[in-house]
Amino acid sequence: MNAVATAPERDLLAVTLAQTLAREHIADIVETLNDQDEDTVAAVLLALPFDRAVEVLDQPELAAASEALALLPEARAAQFLSAMAADRVTDVVREFDEPLRLRMLGRVDHETRATLNRLLTYPEQSAGSIMTTEFVSVPADWTVSRTLDYVRHVERTRETIYAIYVLDPAAGTLLRAVSLRRLISAEPQALVVSAAPDRAPISVTPDIDREDVARLISKYDLLAVPVVDGADHVIGIVTVDDVIDAMIAETTEDVQKLGGMEALDEPYNEISFARMIRKRAGWLSILLVGEMLTASVMQHFEGELEKAIVLTLFIPLIMSSGGNSGSQATSLLIRALALREIRLGDWWRVALREIPTGLTLGAILGAIGIVRVVVWQKLGLYDYGEHWPLIAATIGAALVGIVTFGSLTGSMLPFILKRLGFDPASASAPFVATLVDVTGLVIYFGVAATILGGTLL
Amino acid sequence: MNAVATAPERDLLAVTLAQTLAREHIADIVETLNDQDEDTVAAVLLALPFDRAVEVLDQPELAAASEALALLPEARAAQFLSAMAADRVTDVVREFDEPLRLRMLGRVDHETRATLNRLLTYPEQSAGSIMTTEFVSVPADWTVSRTLDYVRHVERTRETIYAIYVLDPAAGTLLRAVSLRRLISAEPQALVVSAAPDRAPISVTPDIDREDVARLISKYDLLAVPVVDGADHVIGIVTVDDVIDAMIAETTEDVQKLGGMEALDEPYNEISFARMIRKRAGWLSILLVGEMLTASVMQHFEGELEKAIVLTLFIPLIMSSGGNSGSQATSLLIRALALREIRLGDWWRVALREIPTGLTLGAILGAIGIVRVVVWQKLGLYDYGEHWPLIAATIGAALVGIVTFGSLTGSMLPFILKRLGFDPASASAPFVATLVDVTGLVIYFGVAATILGGTLL
């Protein structure tokens, strides 16, 4: 319990808050509540009118919903859960600890329990776990006007009424989908099925990933997509609201992974110190161990290093260029694969493109590197010794090699990860940099040995 | 012109394609057309029924819309443009070259021209540039039933009818927004304004960024948000479809920037070689020049390096750990700022959090680094000399310092960029790594001088 205020103080605060909030937009209430501790949230839920409290709990943005419900009297919490939207109640109940979840399943109403028992079986982040069971479906032999009457009647208990699913009257299988806008402009006495577009509706199975649902909704500009079981019965729908939330969560995950860490799954300012360390330390340690290979490579070339200490000066510069070009290529390909612009089988096409790209980029960087050595030498800022033109050539050639290698490695890594069944977005910039660093050193010393052999080395 | 097929072959292909496509889902037609060259797209547009062709052109996913329209007879192109959705026609016309744009503006119908002249003045990626002018608004003194009749009447020409805007009958200013679902369940003889929720609707001005529109739509679970001018007149709406497209484009941009390059603004497999090089070479060159400071730092410590060549072995390992921890912190803060979990004024709170986090992560990595030196020494894999315990201590202490510095720098960079008016997402992993590398070397040599002074140095 966060002891920010004493209990009576908190109750007073809660009642005042509840009065002020009662007329605000639901999203603003949620924002205010997210700044309060969970005891205050629980107290406000009790002080708000019941319907308003349910509305608040139905917002996926409410951070402390599970925690606040766990603090309420169980009978009251069960009333809230029974009144909440099916998809949201599943999310909330999922976060209860096992004993509380079982007790609440025993207390909620029959219908909610049945829905929960079904929805809780779907894996997190699947269509089944984000779908709601509150949709509108009608048999194909109903008229448009009967359908509209029915829609008016059930409107308050459905998450969306803008997509109406038309079922086979006998088998109950999904035949057509019709939008409310087509329905209200259709002939009232016509059959509802005649108002629907003449093709099988886009649908998904409950096990597919929420990212793929988002792609479908975005591609076909849908307001909702039906989720069907093996027998083609509609068991729920995923709405565009759920998809937007899922897309934002997905982007956060991808950006965090690209930064070289596990996805936090919690807001930055709410995650505990211990969890933050766990999410970050894993990859940092793995990358450090990987990077230790560079020390081994350097040991291997220690003789060269002692003979030409000048070579060490450019190690950070050359290695980072390899990492940077790899990081560019990786982020490009992660997005291209995510957007399905490019498929797994296109890897060789990408490789054929990245090699000339890498060579060109390497030539540009190589030229800059050569200019740097020449300018420093000529201006007397540093003396690279009598063989300075050869050193300049070494830097230039090494940059061409390393940038090409970096671009190729960085672009192929997402394909390899996807092929192995991992998320291509796990190919973080630091991961690519580490991969490229080791080989980059070998390329650098190899080029140096070729160009400087017989003079400096 | 992509000479993939001869003209008669292409026409035959186009007619066949058009026949096959006529009954498919619009999004699938677009996908098929995106695999064709622009001449074929133009030919298919001519072969499809007019309404169907307009529907295809209305899809923002159609890549070659501008190019294909430019290939058509201008009178025909003008007919298409006049029939297309206002927001989409603006995007397409924006891509025409100047002379063609002016000629087409002269040929389209009066209404389209007026809309275009207005929409083209808004900056790209603003609410004004992605909004459509095809929305439904009614005066507040209409009844629900009159409003519904009107909605049925205009349905075919509006992008969405699910949000209806209620205007002051005299001033024409925005009073309320009402959803179609509330309208169809309302009392037909009641005033439309009485069916609307009793609060001012969420609205935006045309100059705000599409990202902020997306945030509002997602926060308030809207299907559309009205765009109002200074006098509170509705001049357009941004729909949830447009926002999803904008969000996907925004994510792509962010991921590409985070990878250390300019956003491509085109699919990977469609961008020309020259443009690809331009988008990537800029940042690579800037980073290379920045990284040249490391060579200067190394020159400065050349004396130390010559005395203790063993120090060079760990340079890549230590520098990369700083870059990796910085990259983690940057990606965390970019997302936290984008999601408004954290505001600009919270920078000191973040700093106070990242310092202990960095120290802890540094201690973990430092311990791994020390173990590495001890194990290699004891197993005889490498001889670090008589002072090997001091070298191990140097590696450990340097990692603590560098990881802490990396975490702090990486977390502050997005704040600094935002404060300076740049996109925080420009703080790429390579950018942070470069910043941290230079200071990292100074920390490393500083720690080495302290610990090894009097023995190795």
At residue B138, does pLDDT exceed 90?
yes
- Which residues in B lie closer than 8 A to residue A223 (C-beta atoms)? 162, 223, 240
- Which residues in A lie closer than 8 A to residue B283 (C-beta atoms)? 324, 328
Task: Give the per-residue pLDDT at B201.
Answer: 92
Q: In A174-250, at which residue ranges do the beta strands (DSSP E only) sit? A: 174-179, 224-228, 234-239
CB pair distance less than 8 Å for B261 and A328: yes
Main-chain dihedrals φ then ψ at residue A137, nearest 5 degrees: -135, 145
Task: Give the per-residue pLDDT at B2.
Answer: 42
User: What is the C-alpha to C-alpha distance for residues A212 and B240, in angstroms, rounded to an integer?
Assistant: 18
At residue A1, does pLDDT exceed 50?
no
- How, if at all, do strands B136-139 and A234-239 pair? unpaired
- SS3 percent helix, strand, coil of chain B, rounded to 5, is 65, 5, 25
Task: Give the per-residue pLDDT at B3.
Answer: 41
Task: Give the per-residue pLDDT at B9.
Answer: 72
Average pLDDT, chain B: 88
The rounded Cα B383 to chain-centroid distance in angstroms is: 51
A260 touches chain B (CB under 8 A): yes
Which among B255, B298, B315 has the least Cβ separation from residue A255? B255
Q: In B219-370, at which residue ranges do the beta strands (DSSP E only) sit? A: 224-228, 234-239
- Angle at which helices A98-107 and A86-94 cross, to 10°: 150
CB pair distance less than 8 Å for A339 and B252: yes
The nearest CA of chain A is from the CA of B151 a distance in Å of 8
A294 touches chain B (CB under 8 A): yes
Which among B161, B356, B437 has the least Cβ separation from residue A316? B437
Most confident segment among A292-306, A351-365, B239-253: A351-365
At residue B263, does pLDDT exceed 60?
yes
Task: Give the per-residue pLDDT at A5.
Answer: 52
CB pair distance less than 8 Å for B299 and A321: no
CB pair distance less than 8 Å for B244 and A199: no
Task: Give the per-residue pLDDT at B5.
Answer: 52
- How, if at all, do strands B136-139 and B163-167 pair? parallel
For tokens 């560079």, what's the residue?
Answer: A294
Comparing B381 with B189, which gets the higher pLDDT?
B189
User: What is the C-alpha to C-alpha distance for residues B218 and A246, in angstroms, rounded to an integer?
Assistant: 11
Tens digit of pLDDT for each residue in A109-132?
998 898 888 888 888 788 988 888
3-state class of B191 per DSSP?
A: strand
Whether A358 contacts A405, CB under 8 Å: yes
- Other Cβ atoms within 10 Å of B125 Cβ, number: 15
At residue B357, does pLDDT exceed 70?
yes
- Which residues in A lie closer than 8 A to residue B316 (C-beta atoms)? 291, 294-295, 298, 315-316, 319, 437, 441
Q: Which of residues 151-170 of B touch A (CB under 8 A)?
A: 151-152, 155-156, 161-162
User: What is the C-alpha to C-alpha distance for residues A214 and B344, in angstroms, rounded to an integer?
Assistant: 31
Mutation pick from B185, B279, B332 vs chain A, by most beta carbons of A within 10 Å, is B332
Residues in chain A: 457
A17 touches chain B (CB under 8 A): no
The nearest CA of chain B is from the CA of A170 a distance in Å of 27
B262 touches chain A (CB under 8 A): no
CB pair distance less than 8 Å for A251 and B252: no
CB pair distance less than 8 Å for A255 and B256: no
- Which residues in B lie closer than 8 A to residue A256 (C-beta atoms)? 331-332, 335
CB pair distance less than 8 Å for B368 and A288: yes
Model pTM score: 0.79
A184 touches chain B (CB under 8 A): yes
Q: Which of residues 324-353 of A touch B (CB under 8 A)?
A: 324-325, 327-336, 339, 341-342, 346, 349-350, 353
- Which residues in B lie closer than 8 A to residue A241 (C-beta atoms)? 218, 221
At residue A316, does pLDDT exceed 80?
yes
Task: Give the per-residue pLDDT at A194.
Answer: 92
Main-chain dihedrals φ then ψ at residue A23, nearest 5 degrees: -100, -5
Bridge partners (DSSP) listed for residue A126: A209
Give the model's confidence band at A407: pLDDT under 50 very low, under 70 low, under 90 confident, else very high.
very high
- Which residues in A lie closer than 8 A to residue B88 (C-beta atoms)? none
Beta carbon pairs, A and B, within 8 Å: 355
Whether A328 contacts A427, CB under 8 Å: no
User: Across residues B109-122, what is the average pLDDT?
Assistant: 87
CB pair distance less than 8 Å for B254 and A251: yes
CB pair distance less than 8 Å for A328 and B284: yes
The nearest CA of chain A is from the CA of B332 a distance in Å of 6
Give how far Cα B22 sits from Cα of A456, B50, B53, Å.
72, 11, 9
A132 touches chain B (CB under 8 A): no
B14 touches chain A (CB under 8 A): no
- Which residues in B lie closer than 8 A to residue A273 (C-beta atoms)? 353, 356-357
Task: Name the DSSP class of A191.
Answer: B
Q: Which two tokens stand for residue B162?
A: 């699910």
Task: Give the per-residue pLDDT at A323.
Answer: 92
Please state which of the ranges A148-157, A227-236, B11-20, B436-445 shows the lowest mean pLDDT. Answer: B11-20
Sorted by where each starts, the structural domains of chain A and their CATH numbers stand as 7-121 (1.25.60.10), 136-248 (3.10.580.10), 282-452 (1.10.357.20)
B98 CB contacts (<8 Å, ≥6 apart)?
A: none
CB pair distance less than 8 Å for A261 and B321: no
- Which residues in B lie closer than 8 A to residue A203 (C-beta atoms)? none
At residue A205, does pLDDT exceed 70?
yes
User: What is the C-alpha to C-alpha distance for residues A212 and A246, in angstroms, rounded to an integer?
Assistant: 11
Q: Which of residues 70-129 of B touch A (CB under 8 A)?
A: none
- Other Cβ atoms within 10 Å of A400 Cβ, number: 22
The ipTM is: 0.79
Task: Give the per-residue pLDDT at A400.
Answer: 96
Tens digit of pLDDT for each residue in A192-203?
999 998 888 999
User: Across residues B327-340, what is the average pLDDT?
Assistant: 90
Please state which of the ranges A1-5, A137-141, A143-147, B29-33 shows the lowest mean pLDDT. Answer: A1-5
Task: Give the per-residue pLDDT at A2.
Answer: 42
CB pair distance less than 8 Å for A218 and B245: yes
B365 touches chain A (CB under 8 A): yes
Give the model's confidence band at A6: pLDDT under 50 very low, under 70 low, under 90 confident, else very high.
low
Which residue on chain A is closest to B327 by alpha carbon?
A: A259
Tens digit of pLDDT for each residue in A295-308?
888 888 888 888 88
Percent of residues, chain A, with pLDDT higher than 70:
98
